[in-house]
Structures are given as structure tokens and as C-alpha cells.
């Protein structure tokens, strides 16, 4: 009888100890969650403040791929900048691997339209990477800038063609025209720093990575910062 009581008391004590340990772990988890939520709230507040400041300064950071949604967000934002502060320069920061050709060309045309309608100046800046379509968009700025450690990637247009033989040939014909227009967009800004033949040798069947110094040498940017 005594042994049974002793065993039961020991088990009760063990259960209490385990319960206390679980409570302590649960409290620790709750404390860590509260701390995480506080940090997250501070980060979100800082992001909101930065976004508000960027709105005030006419700065838009394009981060990620060029696509229909991201292009629309950019175009709406810079049009709002131009309408509210038409005399203030717009700065677009690109950190992008590129993306859709057509979405990107829509941005190019939109920037030109804003320039005509509002006489607004646009500064384009590459931070980290302006690759493929983003490198083309970089050429849209009245002033084109690259961060010193940033990279510009130029390559031929890529496509996926399907359908009948005629449809594939039509697509190839169209992509050839697009490629020539891409070359024009770079050379129109480069001046006499690079010829058409030199440009095409640079991107022929390969990815052509340029440092900020190389991009400046070839006339693809105006400043390094």
C-alpha cells in the first residue's frame, strides 16, 4: 500500500514537472512570437514610410520580372507621379532579370508618352542587375545610371514558337523585326561609341554581360554611381 502511494506521488510529481516544462516552453514560444510580430510590425511600418517617401520623391523601385502586372503597376505609378508633380524628375530603379518583351515595350512607349504630355524627365537606374528586357528599359531614361557593382545583360530575343510551319515562320519573321528594334533602342542612345556590327557580335548566340564600366564605355549608360 505504501509503495503504491509512493509510486503515485512520484508519478504526480513527474507529471507536474512535465506540465511546468511544457508551460515554460509554451510561454517561450509565445514570447518569441510576440517579439517576431513586433519586429514584423516595425519592418512593415518602415516599408510604408519608405513607400510614402518614394511617392513624394517620385521614385519607383521595379524589383522582379517584367510582366503584364508589374508593367501595369509601374506605368500607373509613374503616370501618377507625372500628373501630381509634372516638373519633378521621375526615378525608376531596376533590379530585374527581364521578362516579357511586349510588356517591356509597352513601358517604353508609356514613358515616351508621359515625356511628350507632361514634359517630364525620367532617370533610370540599374541596381544589382538590369538583364534582358530590363536592360532595354534602362535605355528609356533621359539619364541612365548603373550602380558600380551592377550588371547589364544583353541578349537576343528568345521565343517559343508553335503551330503550323507557316505560323512558326511568321513568328520567326516577327521576332527578327523585334530584334532589330531592340538593337535600334540601344544604338539610338549609344551614339558613335559602338557600331551595329559590333553590337551584334557582342550578343550573337550568347548572353552578353557588361559591368557598369563596360556599359559606360559602350554608351549604354551615362553615369556610374
| pLDDT tens digits, one per residue of 2-42 | 556 566 766 767 777 777 777 777 777 777 777 667 655 55
Does 62 share its domain with 49? no
The answer to whether 155 is a known catalytic residue is yes
pLDDT averaged over every residue in the chain: 87
Torsion 32-36-37-39 (CA) sign: positive
For the chain, what percentages of helix, strand and coil (3-state, to nearest 5) are there?
60, 15, 20
Alpha-carbon distance of 198 to 90, in angstroms, equals 32
- Catalytic residue, candidates 77, 150, 155, 212: 155
Contacts of 7 (CB under 8 A, 6+ apart): none
Q: Tell me the residue range of the domain where 162 lies.
A: 58-224
Does 45 share its domain with 95? no
Alpha-carbon distance of 63 to 75, in angstroms, equals 14
Q: What is the mean pLDDT of residues 63-67?
A: 98
- Catalytic residue, candidates 132, 140, 150, 212: 132
CB atoms within 10 A of CB 84: 11
Q: What is the domain count for the chain?
A: 2
CATH of the domain at 90: 3.90.226.10
SS3 159: coil
In the structure, what pLDDT confidence band is assigned to residue 50 with cuts at 50, 70 and 90? very low
Does 43 share its domain with 110? no
pTM for the full predicted model: 0.76
Amino acid at each position: 500500500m505504501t509503495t503504491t502511494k509512493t509510486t503515485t506521488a512520484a508519478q504526480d510529481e513527474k507529471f507536474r514537472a512535465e506540465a511546468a516544462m511544457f508551460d515554460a516552453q509554451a510561454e517561450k514560444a509565445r514570447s518569441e512570437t510576440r517579439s517576431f510580430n513586433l519586429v514584423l510590425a516595425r519592418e512593415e511600418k518602415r516599408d510604408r514610410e519608405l513607400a510614402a517617401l518614394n511617392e513624394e520623391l517620385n521614385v519607383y523601385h521595379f524589383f522582379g520580372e517584367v510582366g503584364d502586372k508589374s508593367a501595369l503597376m509601374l506605368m500607373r505609378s509613374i503616370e501618377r507621379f507625372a500628373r501630381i508633380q509634372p516638373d519633378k524628375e521621375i526615378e525608376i530603379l531596376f533590379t530585374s532579370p527581364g521578362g516579357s518583351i511586349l510588356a517591356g515595350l509597352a513601358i517604353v512607349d508609356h514613358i515616351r508618352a508621359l515625356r511628350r504630355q507632361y514634359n517630364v524627365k525620367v532617370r533610370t537606374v540599374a541596381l544589382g542587375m538590369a538583364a534582358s528586357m530590363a536592360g532595354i528599359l534602362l535605355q528609356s531614361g533621359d539619364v541612365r545610371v548603373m550602380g558600380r557593382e551592377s550588371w547589364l545583360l544583353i541578349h537576343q530575343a528568345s521565343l517559343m514558337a508553335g503551330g503550323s510551319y507557316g505560323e512558326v515562320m511568321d513568328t520567326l519573321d516577327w521576332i527578327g523585326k523585334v530584334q532589330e528594334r531592340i538593337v535600334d533602342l540601344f544604338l539610338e542612345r549609344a551614339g558613335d561609341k559602338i557600331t551595329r556590327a559590333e553590337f551584334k557580335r557582342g550578343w550573337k548566340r550568347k548572353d552578353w554581360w557588361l559591368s557598369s564600366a563596360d556599359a559606360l564605355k559602350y554608351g549604354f549608360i551615362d553615369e556610374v554611381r
